[in-house]
């Protein structure tokens, strides 16, 4: 069977012999893949001209709903991908990480729409006041790049690796060309067929190259983005590709690294932390047969606990049955193919020159439900580097399989130094119940690691573990790990957006950005804005309220009501040496009184107060001062209708400017209300 490439809006079989893809368990050929003869310039141009404009016309809210629809669709049919995943050597739990984890990332990014505007662009950060009178301001606008994202993915997670990248670029409004590994692209192709058939994505938003992709980077330009997941060596070569350098193309690299797990000095046998450490190392060695970029490669343990860790880990690993992922009782499957298994053996031979094997055997091991001479099987292998500062192979050579090296340390400073000798990693972890050890390790190791897990008895029940990147946290690391960041919530989306500083009068910046800027022209409301449905409200529409003169009774009554008897509000004899000259009104009384001034009491389109986004009290309010409010429509975000609701609604952000009799602002806040659509 020949895999098809999905390019230029159609599925196309490859020509020629192609690259064979093997069943990791039986060694049989599954299919062949090729990208020979493809016109990558035309492919990239098609994505930019067809998929790009369609995505950029959509708002962040629409793109988020698109991701949600895609996630729901794939979630309904996900079981069909498991039999294919078993052929990569993955067990059911391994496949769950790849398949359900990938779909879960789509759901997570779809939910991020709640933090984004109902526009195709994004206003980033706060207004910068650039002039004394406030007639000249600056802001930052983020817009989708009019290029294309090229994703070069690794063999170990054909689905998760694809979906976690697509989640970000599609939400940002940028189309993609996905090039999965030519070793396991049969699984990615199966899912892409279903994605395309669903019709959920606009045409041109996603294209697929199943082969080696030689030449795929030739047509990249300054508006494109390239992401890479794989070996550090290959990543460095691609990062220096001539067109990448010539056009300063953003290149996000997430490379395999020598991740470390540290057992704290308090992690004595019998403590929960010791047991958790052993469990975590076993899991990371055997999940995906150790073929994870986040897998633990180095165990760094207190010197006096080396033997105890070795014995405990040996007991756990002996329970790990290796074999066909479909066979009952199997807990670790095969490596992706025999070529990869041979490469891992070669790396082990390099490492064992200074680090003997203390657990496992490369030749003598049992396999359940399969022929180990046909499949790509290896047992868990643990090595011991007794002198890790002298013999540095363990910090430089990675065996990308179920292989880990145990090494001792004599102090937390040594543990930090050893962890950092990996020259940059995606993740490190420390098992400890000691807060001082945690603090010392984190601040000593943080510059060298993209993520740090602190594991102990309090977090263990809900911890996702050492090797699990999460959609809302960055996935990447410095140095050997590539220096990139994937996912990370909004951070991941911003890789595909151009940040541009815009300057001008607040009225003009309001018109351009769609977000009201303080100092801009206000549209005096003809009717109370709370009487208007969502779609009738205009950005900049303003209600100027009646005024109220503050009394001492207001302050005393609020203190009694709230229970806030802070001395500045209640004890005029205690004000010496403070910023206050007399009894001062509570800030929250000012905000509450502001609400009393601008709220319309009778029933209308406003359904509820949704929250408070920003609030500052900028000037003391004393008895005798008179305050009023300017309530301005700042931003509007439409929401989709839920099944259990009989109405459409949106979120309106209001700028609440409370000012005194001199016209000076005493409090400024952004409040949110849910407003019904007409």
Residue 487 clears pLDDT 90, i.e. is over it: no
pLDDT at res. 628: 97
Burial 78-99 (b: 16+ CB within 10 A, else e): beebbebbbbbbbbeebbebbb
Residue 646 clears pLDDT 80, i.e. is over it: no
- pLDDT tens-place string over residues 89-131: 999 999 999 999 999 999 999 999 988 999 999 999 889 999 9
Residue 363's H or E segment, with its range, is: none
pLDDT at res. 266: 95
Q: How far apart are CA 17 and CA 211, in angstroms?
A: 11
Tokens of 425: 């990693």
pTM here is: 0.90
Residue 440 clears pLDDT 90, i.e. is over it: yes
Averaged over 263-273, what is the pLDDT? 96
pLDDT at res. 47: 97
- pLDDT tens-place string over residues 445-470: 999 999 999 999 999 998 999 988 88
Residues catalogued as catalytic:
254, 293
- pLDDT tens-place string over residues 298-349: 999 999 999 999 999 999 999 999 999 999 999 999 999 999 999 999 999 9
Q: Which residue has the higher pLDDT, 146 or 256?
A: 146
Q: How far apart are CA 599 and CA 582, in angstroms?
A: 30
pLDDT at res. 488: 84
**Long-range contacts, 647-654 (Cβ 8 Å, 24+):** 647/676, 647/677, 648/534, 648/676, 648/677, 649/534, 649/607, 649/674, 649/675, 649/676, 649/677, 650/118, 650/534, 650/674, 650/675, 650/677, 651/610, 651/675, 652/534, 652/537, 653/613
Query: How many helices and strands, by DSSP H and E, does the chain display?
Result: 19, 28
Is 14 buried (19+), middle (13-18) or exposed (0-12) by CB count in 10 A?
buried
**Residue 116: HSE in the Cβ half-sphere, 13 Å Cα cutoff:** 29
- pLDDT tens-place string over residues 498-507: 999 999 999 9
Q: Is 158 left (phi over 0), alpha (psi -120 to 50) or beta?
A: alpha
Averaged over 147-175, what is the pLDDT? 96
Averaged over 650-667, what is the pLDDT? 95
pLDDT at res. 16: 77
What percentage of the chain exceeds 90 in pLDDT? Answer: 88
Residues in the chain: 678
Residue ranges and CATH numbers for the domains of the chain are: 4-122+143-255 (3.40.605.10), 259-318+354-359+379-469 (3.40.309.10), 522-676 (3.10.129.10)
pLDDT at res. 15: 77
Strands 10-13 and 4-7: antiparallel
pLDDT at res. 557: 95
- pLDDT tens-place string over residues 569-620: 999 889 999 999 999 999 999 999 999 999 998 899 999 998 998 899 999 9
């Amino acid at each position: 069977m020949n895999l098809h490439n999905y390019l230029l809006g159609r599925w196309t079989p490859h020509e020629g012999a192609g690259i064979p893809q093997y069943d990791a368990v039986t060694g049989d050929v599954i299919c062949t893949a090729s990208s020979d003869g493809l016109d990558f310039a035309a492919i990239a141009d098609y994505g930019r001209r067809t998929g790009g404009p369609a995505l950029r016309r959509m708002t962040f809210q629409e793109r988020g709903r698109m991701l949600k629809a895609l996630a729901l669709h794939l979630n309904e049919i996900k079981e069909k991908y498991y039999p294919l995943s078993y052929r990569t050597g993955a067990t059911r739990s391994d496949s769950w990480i790849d398949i359900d984890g990938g779909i879960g990332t789509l759901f997570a990014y779809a939910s991020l729409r709640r933090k984004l505007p109902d526009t195709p662009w994004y206003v980033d950060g706060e207004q910068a006041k650039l002039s004394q009178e406030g007639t000249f301001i600056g802001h930052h606008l983020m817009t989708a790049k009019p290029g294309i994202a090229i994703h070069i993915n690794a063999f170990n997670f054909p689905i998760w690796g694809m979906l976690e990248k697509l989640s970000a670029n599609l939400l940002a409004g940028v189309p993609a060309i996905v090039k999965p590994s030519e070793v396991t692209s049969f699984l990615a192709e199966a899912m892409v067929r279903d994605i395309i058939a669903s019709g959920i994505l606009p045409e041109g938003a996603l294209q697929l190259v199943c082969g080696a992709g030689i030449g795929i980077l030739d047509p990249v330009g300054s508006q494109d983005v390239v992401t890479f997941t794989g070996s550090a060596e290959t990543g460095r070569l691609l990062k220096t590709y001539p067109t990448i350098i010539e056009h300063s193309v953003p290149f996000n690299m997430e490379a395999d690294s020598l991740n470390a797990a540290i057992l704290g000095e308090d992690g004595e046998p019998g403590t929960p932390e010791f047991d958790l450490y052993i469990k975590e190392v076993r899991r990371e060695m055997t999940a995906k047969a150790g073929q994870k970029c986040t897998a633990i490669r180095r165990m760094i343990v207190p010197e006096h606990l080396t033997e105890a860790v070795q014995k405990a880990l040996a007991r756990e690993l002996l329970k790990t049955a290796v074999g066909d992922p479909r066979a009952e009782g199997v807990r670790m499957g095969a490596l992706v193919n025999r070529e990869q298994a041979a490469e891992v053996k070669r790396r082990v031979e390099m490492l064992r020159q200074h680090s003997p094997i203390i657990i496992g055997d490369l030749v003598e091991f049992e396999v359940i439900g399969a022929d180990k001479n046909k499949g790509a099987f290896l047992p868990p292998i643990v090595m011991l580097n007794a002198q890790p500062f002298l013999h540095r192979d363990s910090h430089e050579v990675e065996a990308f399989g179920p292989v880990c090296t145990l090494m001792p340390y004599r102090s937390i400073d040594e543990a930090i130094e050893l962890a950092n000798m990996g020259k940059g990693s995606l993740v490190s972890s420390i098992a400890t119940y000691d807060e001082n050890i945690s603090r010392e390790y984190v601040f000593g190791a943080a510059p060298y690691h993209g993520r740090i897990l602190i594991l102990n008895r309090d977090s263990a029940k809900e911890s996702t573990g050492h090797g699990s990147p999460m959609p809302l946290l960055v996935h990447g690391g410095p140095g050997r790990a590539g220096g990139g960041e994937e996912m990370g919530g909004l951070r991941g989306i911003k890789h595909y957006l151009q940040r541009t500083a815009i300057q001008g009068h607040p009225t003009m910046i309001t018109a351009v950005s769609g977000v009201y800027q303080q100092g801009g022209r206000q549209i005096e409301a003809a009717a109370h804005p709370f009487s208007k449905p969502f779609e009738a409200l205009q950005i900049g529409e303003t209600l100027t309220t009646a005024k109220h003169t503050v009394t001492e009774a207001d302050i005393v009554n609020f203190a009694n009501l709230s229970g806030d008897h802070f001395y500045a509000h209640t004890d005029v004899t205690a004000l010496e040496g403070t910023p206050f000259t007399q009894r001062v009104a509570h800030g929250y009384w000012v905000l509450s009184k502001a609400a009393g001034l601008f709220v319309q009491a009778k029933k209308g389109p406003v359904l509820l107060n949704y929250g408070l986004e920003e609030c500052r009290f900028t000037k003391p309010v004393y008895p005798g001062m008179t305050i009023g409010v300017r309530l301005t429509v700042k931003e509007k975000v439409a929401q989709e209708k839920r099944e259990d609701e009989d109405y459409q609604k949106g979120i309106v952000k209001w700028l609440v400017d409370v000012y005194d009799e001199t016209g000076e602002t005493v409090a400024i806040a952004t409040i949110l209300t849910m407003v019904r659509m007409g």
